[in-house]
Amino acid sequence: MRECACGFTAGTDAALQRHLDRGLTAACRPVVAPPSRGAQQQQQSPMMRLLDRAQAGDAAGVRQALRTNGVLESPLAVKPLDVTVRAGHCEAASVIVRHCRKHFAHRVGSELNGFNVVANVLNWAAAGYCGVHGPRMVAMLANDRHLDSLRKSPLAAWRRLGVLLGKPGDLAGPSQDEAEEWDDEGALTQQGQNALRTAQCAAGPVPGLGSGGEAFGSSGGSGGGSSSSGGGGGAARWQPKSAMLKQAGQRLVAEQLHAIYNDLDRRGWSTDDHRHFPPRFRGAVRATLLCARRADCPLAKLPADVLLHLFGTLARRWLWQLDVAVVH
């Protein structure tokens, strides 16, 4: 609708112009309508549109905004990822990480390098930058296979075998430096180990894991390692609910990083890998098995195969399939 300052409205520009030509009142003049939301969005720069969708957690809008050429080329390129991680928008953050891994995978030293992006998100979650959303952010990296940027490629095993065996006809074999470089049979690259070590130091020790654990950052004390137990058996100090949720999230992130180091996010739970799982999970499995030995417990009626399947499902729900910020 077109509107005049005197209150007259017209459906077309021609009708409004005829009214203004008559000059019925001294106040007759066209009223300029404010720009629509669509027009405002068209006037925004690609980076501003991406930031707006990132703040709202609109994964589809972020994906559409990333299709604009050069949208992540400005100095503020890391800002959209920072916004999504801080707010805990896992799906939108996954879209940005996947975009960087696809288009900037070979940019050595760039902040948008695929490895740097994954390592930054992992470290932000471990340091509590995401608040209570840290466990969900780490689970997103594992479920969407972004952690593959920290791991060796499938051809790395063949290259390692070729280096260790030496060139055909070379009796001397590989040099000592080459043998030491490729003697590691772990799934992580050297950069991936460094990134995971940094994240584990930020997240703290795994609850219940002593100094002899396999995790990088598990040397901080023995036993349960909980500072809120009161030491001498006294009552635990009161803490607000927000602080308790944050501590629970940090514990879960530390357990997730421990599982990533042992490649449990890809292999899943099995009787052979049970010893590599966090102590709290092993305690839950032990309690379930003890209950299954009681004749009056419903679990005693379940076959052993069903119990093993139950433990595999519990492991996924415990570490990777998180519906809320902190589940335990």
> Residue 108: helix, strand or coil by DSSP?
coil
Distance CA 254, CA 261 (A): 11
The answer to whether 92 and 59 have CB atoms below 8 angstroms apart is yes
For domain 45-154+182-208+244-268, the CATH architecture is Alpha Horseshoe (1.25)
- Please report, rounded to a whole number, the percentage of residues in the chain having pLDDT higher than 70: 70
- Mean pLDDT score, 237-242: 72
Stronger pLDDT, 213 or 277, i.e. the higher one: 277
- At residue 306, the pLDDT reads 93
Task: Please determine, for residue 15, whether its predicted confidence score (pLDDT) is greater than 60.
Answer: yes
pTM of full prediction above 0.85: no
Stronger pLDDT, 28 or 165, i.e. the higher one: 28
Distance CA 86, CA 129 (A): 6
Neighbours of 320 (CB within 10 A): 20
**Reduced 3-state DSSP string for 193-206:** HHHHHHHHHHHCCC
Lowest model confidence (mean pLDDT) among 43-52, 82-91, 121-130, 131-140: 43-52
> Residue 322: helix, strand or coil by DSSP?
coil
The answer to whether 311 and 286 have CB atoms below 8 angstroms apart is no
Highest-pLDDT range among 63-72, 84-93, 183-192, 202-211: 84-93
Neighbours of 1 (CB within 10 A): 8
The model's pLDDT over 124-144, given as tens digits with 9 standing for 90+, comes to 999 988 888 899 999 999 999
What the block records as the tokens of 202 is 């930020």
DSSP letters for 31-99: PPPPPPHHHHHHHS-HHHHHHHHHHHT-HHHHHHHHTSTTTT-STTTTHHHHHHHHHT-HHHHHHHHHH
What the block records as the tokens of 317 is 């729900």
Lowest model confidence (mean pLDDT) among 29-38, 59-68, 163-172, 231-240: 163-172
CB-based burial of residue 86 (10 Å sphere; 0-12 exposed, 13-18 middle, 19+ buried)?
Answer: middle
